[in-house]
Amino acid sequence: MNHKNNALKKQAITFFCAGCLLWLAGAFLPIDAKIVFCVDGDIFVMNDDGSRRRRLTHSTLETYRYPRWSPDGTTIAFTRYMDKEKIQTSSELFIMNADGTHPQRLTHNNVPDTDPSWAPDGQHIAFTSTRSGEAEVHVIDVTTLAVTQLTGGGADAPSAAPDWSPDGTQITFERFIRIKNGIAPKTIYVMDADGQHQRPALPDPPLNGPRTLRYFPRWSMDGQRILFAEVQWLDKGDLEKIIVLRLGSRKKGITDVNDRLGNNWLGAGASWMENDRAILFSLKLMDKPDPNYNLYRYELQTRSLRRLTRDASDEGWPDWIEGALSVSPHGKLPTQWGKRKHAYKEHR
């Protein structure tokens, strides 16, 4: 009998110790951060549901914007405005580890370098720069820091906010439409990853109607759709919508957001999430007292809308990743941008 009791005691102690070890391991496990975003000029990460929020940068003189996960989830590219008091005069591209350590500066110009987007190979970043005069799309090699300009020249209007397709063969971006007077409208373009065959992704907005600007396109993981924001300047106030464009088809506005939150809001970035099943975005409700930007999650199938952040701060420019990914995710072509560029030169 004593032998049986001793055996039961040993089992109980074993289970208790194992439970303690699991609890301690869980306490020290890294944050399962899938969302990277900005809060009042610094970069944070958090889980899909808004939990376990963690700060990665602590700015005093600088302001941080536009963080983007690398394809393998180990690195974050971002824009650092070098002078917090004059954030529109100069900005540079940086990368850092996913935990905020080891920041590395990629560009060194006294002009805006911004809007980074990783190539699927993890070795190149497309970005916006005014180094040639107007805003244009460029690509930088993360290893050599060599920069190649992709847009600009001739009658082309300024271009900005590039985003790489998941197979690495194309880049979408926003382009201004030149007009004689007034604020120029913007629309969404697509080009080959080497800068060739630049073409509009959808018809230009009519110039005889409300001024329309289309912002910050983001390619879906299946490579079939482009997500962007569309703002119409109206006499009674601006109207902003989140748009999903299926390539080769018509654009479709996500009207649920406006139906539930009203039309009086401003956006600060949108991203695909959950393998294109949901959209993550930032907006500010202008009809609220002391409005600030918050992050929301919209499920495309269920049409559910959930607010993820509720702090009295501005949360914007979110980007999502599904944990750690290989450099070339399964089912996606590991196209090397450098090889495409070299092949183009040889062909010419």
Out of 226-235, 262-271, 323-332, give the one with best mean pLDDT: 262-271
CA distances to 45, 298, 303, 309, 338 from 306, in Å? 18, 6, 10, 9, 41
Position with higher pLDDT, 41 vs 153: 41
Residue 127 phi, psi dihedral angles, 5° rounding: -160, 170
Residue 214 has pLDDT above 70, yes or no: yes
Over the stretch 13-38, which tens digit does the pLDDT of each residue have? 444 444 443 333 333 334 466 999 99
230 with 214: CB under 8 angstroms?
yes
Residue 88 has pLDDT above 70, yes or no: no
Residue 174 has pLDDT above 70, yes or no: yes
- Whole-number pLDDT of residue 19: 43
Can you tell me the mean pLDDT for 80-101? 83
* Full DSSP string of 244-296: EEETTS-EEE-HHHHHHH-S-EEEEEEEEETTTTEEEEEEEETTSSS--EEEE
Poorest-pLDDT segment among 7-11, 25-29, 228-232: 25-29
Residue 324 has pLDDT above 80, yes or no: no
Give the dihedral sign, CA 235/158/270/294.
negative
- Whole-number pLDDT of residue 311: 87
Q: Which residue has the tokens 């601006």?
A: 238
How far apart (Å, rounded) are the C-alpha atoms in residues 295 and 114? 22
124 with 77: CB under 8 angstroms?
no
Position with higher pLDDT, 4 vs 59: 59
Can you tell me the mean pLDDT for 128-143? 95
Q: In the numeric block, which tokens belong to residue 345? A: 């030169």
Beta partners for residue 212, in sequence order = 232
Position with higher pLDDT, 341 vs 58: 58
Q: Give the amino acid at 239.
A: L
Over the stretch 245-269, which tens digit does the pLDDT of each residue have? 998 888 899 999 999 998 889 899 9
Residues 6 or more apart from 199 whose CB is under 8 A from it?
A: 189, 190, 191
- Whole-number pLDDT of residue 28: 36
How far apart (Å, rounded) are the C-alpha atoms in residues 307 and 294? 7
Residue 341 has pLDDT above 70, yes or no: no
Confidence of residue 240 (pLDDT cuts 50, 70, 90): confident
* Full DSSP string of 226-241: EEEEEEEE-TT--EEE
How far apart (Å, rounded) are the C-alpha atoms in residues 236 and 233? 9
- Whole-number pLDDT of residue 222: 94
